[in-house]
A and B are shown apart, each in its own frame.
Chain A
Amino acid sequence: DAGVTQSPTHLIKTRGQQVTLRCSPISGHKSVSWYQQVLGQGPQFIFQYYEKEERGRGNFPDRFSARQFPNYSSELNVNALLLGDSALYLCASSLSGSNQPQHFGDGTRLSIL
């Protein structure tokens, strides 16, 4: 069975641009969460979606937004990119939005020049 798939793998943008990252969950999983991981730190929670509704939001500015589609895939959008947005963006899926374990995709490495 396919795991969580994310695209693109790598992305290079310049300051002020906008980016959209995509995630397809494990088949049967209805919850998707997004995380940002910078070097030397653990993943930082950005959003969780379950059944197309936002179930949680981390301490990130409004430049970050996300949505979940009827097929449970998800997009993370970041506007007005800053140098500090350079990071590994991870998507994780789980069966439901509660205590179920989350499984991560390979991530999208975003570099801002």
Chain B
Amino acid sequence: QKEVEQNSGPLSVPEGAIASLNCTYSDRGSQSFFWYRQYSGKSPELIMFIYSNGDKEDGRFTAQLNKASQYVSLLIRDSQPSDSATYLCAVRGATNKLIFGTGTLLAVQP
């Protein structure tokens, strides 16, 4: 079992729709959770971080965390073509190492 798992996609959504990106993790001692956006050929850019169970909203982005289910998700409302990128889920576990998933490719269709 991978430490952090994401569906590689591509996830295709129409412009204006809600994109839902999901991530599961194996380390129950994980303490902090991050979402990064990575455009092709570029470095990862921090989008959201969440530490506690529940929802955290920032503009069009909402991060959701369920530690009991070891599940974290990212919702993108009113998706735009410029949101098309790979979204990386990263989890910091009990070892304090930041572990990344392989990323989900999001394609927003105009």
Contacts and interface: CB of A to CB of B under 8 A. Distances in A.
Do A and B belong to a common assembly?
yes
Interface of A: 33, 35, 40-45, 48, 55-56, 58, 88, 90, 97-99, 101-107
- The interface residues of chain A, by DSSP majority, are classed as loop
Given A42-B88, A90-B44, A107-B43, A99 B98 contact: no
8 contacts: A41-B103, A42-B102, A55-B96, A58-B97, A99-B32, A101-B46, A105-B43, A106-B42
B97 A45 contact: yes
A90 B45 CA distance: 12
B interface, size bucket: 20 to 34
A42 B102 CA distance: 4
- The interface residues of chain B, by DSSP majority, are classed as strand
Contacts of A33: 98
Interface in B1-32: 4, 31-32
Given A90-B43, A105-B43, A56 B100 contact: no
A105 B42 CA distance: 10
Contact of B43 (A45, A48, A99, A104): A104
B46 A103 contact: yes
Interface in B70-110: 88, 90, 92, 95-103
A42 B95 CA distance: 18
A99 B102 contact: no
Contact of A106 (B34, B36, B43, B100): B43
A99 B93 CA distance: 10
B96 A43 contact: no
Nearest to A6: B43
A105 B88 CA distance: 16
Given A43-B44, A56-B95, A99-B51, 4 more contacts: A41-B103, A99-B92, A104-B45, A104-B46
B93 to A, nearest CB: 11
